[in-house]
Amino acid sequence: MIKRSLSFLTLVIFIWLIWSYSGRNLPVSPPNPYLSVIEEINPSDSLDRNIVAIQPFMLPEDYFNESKFNEKIRQYTSAAKQSGFLRNKTTILFPEHFASPLVLLGEKHSLAEKESWREVKSTFIWSNLFDFFLGYIKTGKKEDRPISAIFRMKAKVMASVYQNSFSDLAIETNCYIIAGSIVLPGPYVKNGEIFIEPNKDLYNVSFVFSPEGEILGDPIIKSHLTSTEANFLSEPTIQTVQNFQLPFARTSILISEDSWFPESYQQILIHQPDLILVPSFCIGNNRMDSPWEGKNLNSLPSFVLTSDVNKITERDAWSKYSIEEKIKSTNSRIGVNVFFKGDFWEFGSDGQPTFLFNGMTLESRKAEKAGIWSLNY
């Protein structure tokens, strides 16, 4: 009886292993950039510095394979280069959570065809059962422990691909790059490289890459999470605004909702940067034209008028409470906010970039999916 049970268990494990490893690392088709807008916001004239804001449009299949991810991001930088946007004093800005879907690296390609995130998560867990268990026991008391475990089990490969991809891209373009953001546990920088501590909390974090391919300064950790992020991410104990002294511009970076909070700009006043750059993400198709529900904030802060909730649109809320209004409290002349666009199962995304120049909001063409804009200053 015991022998038969062991034989049956061995058969089950064997079948699971075959199923688990099937459908991974398959040949991939070339990525589609979905690029409809390439625009220079203002004439360069005597202005020799610029910010290139990239609004990508991404799909799950863009993240299954490192080479396809690299090809996709190069489609955008190549288009910027062909348009004459990449120069000696260029800063490239990618949006929030641009690299977080790297959690799909090496996974079953069938995930892209699932109808819902619930189905994706189920397949993800069962096809990585042992790694998932090891990640799960490190999750602590977060509400969404499964998603926390998934990010933890993929953190090492995510950090490696993120580092290599943007390091190479910075060298190729000879530009400074704010590389969107990525979810990682206990991230820190040592000798210009990213390291992680798998047992530490998960953070929404960004990094700045130099033209030499090295990471500058410390990780830029998002301080004010959305209600969704708070289910599996943590906020830093000390909330600081990262400032970077680039050779041609003092630069402050605020990740998405951090650009809503007055205390961020109080710190910015101390450093008096030339630029304030904001990588952002707004979940939901046509979200910007819908009533603002306040869900992009984990809890409503005191500076928000409760009467605005469900009364003004998401777009109006960003305009009223984010960088477009808050930059007026600083000495900074230039501000740019760019959003991540993509189609991931039932989750959509929305948002168009904002360009602020000497106290004015500059007009820009709307991109339905992907777009590239250059702001000269």
Q: What is the pLDDT of residues 165-181, one digit of tens each?
A: 999 999 999 999 999 99
The per-residue pLDDT of the chain, averaged, comes to 95
Name the least confident of 275-289, 293-307, 344-358.
Answer: 293-307
Residues 6+ apart with CB under 8 A from 266: none
- Contact present, 55 and 278 (Cβ < 8 Å): no
Q: For residue 334, give its domain range.
A: 2-25+33-376
- Contact present, 196 and 156 (Cβ < 8 Å): yes
pLDDT value, residue 19: 81
pLDDT value, residue 11: 63
Mean pLDDT, residues 283-288 taken together: 94
CB atoms within 10 A of CB 299: 9
- Whichever domain contains 281, its CATH number is 3.60.110.10
> Given a cut of 70, is residue 6 above it in pLDDT?
no
Structure tokens at 212: 């030499």
- Contact present, 209 and 251 (Cβ < 8 Å): no
**Highest averaged pLDDT of the listed ranges 41-50, 137-146, 364-373:** 364-373
Q: How many residues are recorded in the chain? A: 377
Give the count of domains, the chain. Answer: 1
Pick from 92, 247, 98, 275: nearest CA to 173: 92
Confidence class for position 200, pLDDT limits 50, 70, 90: very high
> Given a cut of 80, is residue 318 above it in pLDDT?
yes
- The CA distance from 259 to 276, in Å, is 9
> Given a cut of 80, is residue 312 above it in pLDDT?
yes
Q: Greater confidence, 252 or 2?
A: 252
pLDDT value, residue 141: 83
Residues 6+ apart with CB under 8 A from 372: 35, 37, 38, 39, 52, 53, 54, 55, 76, 79, 80, 83, 85
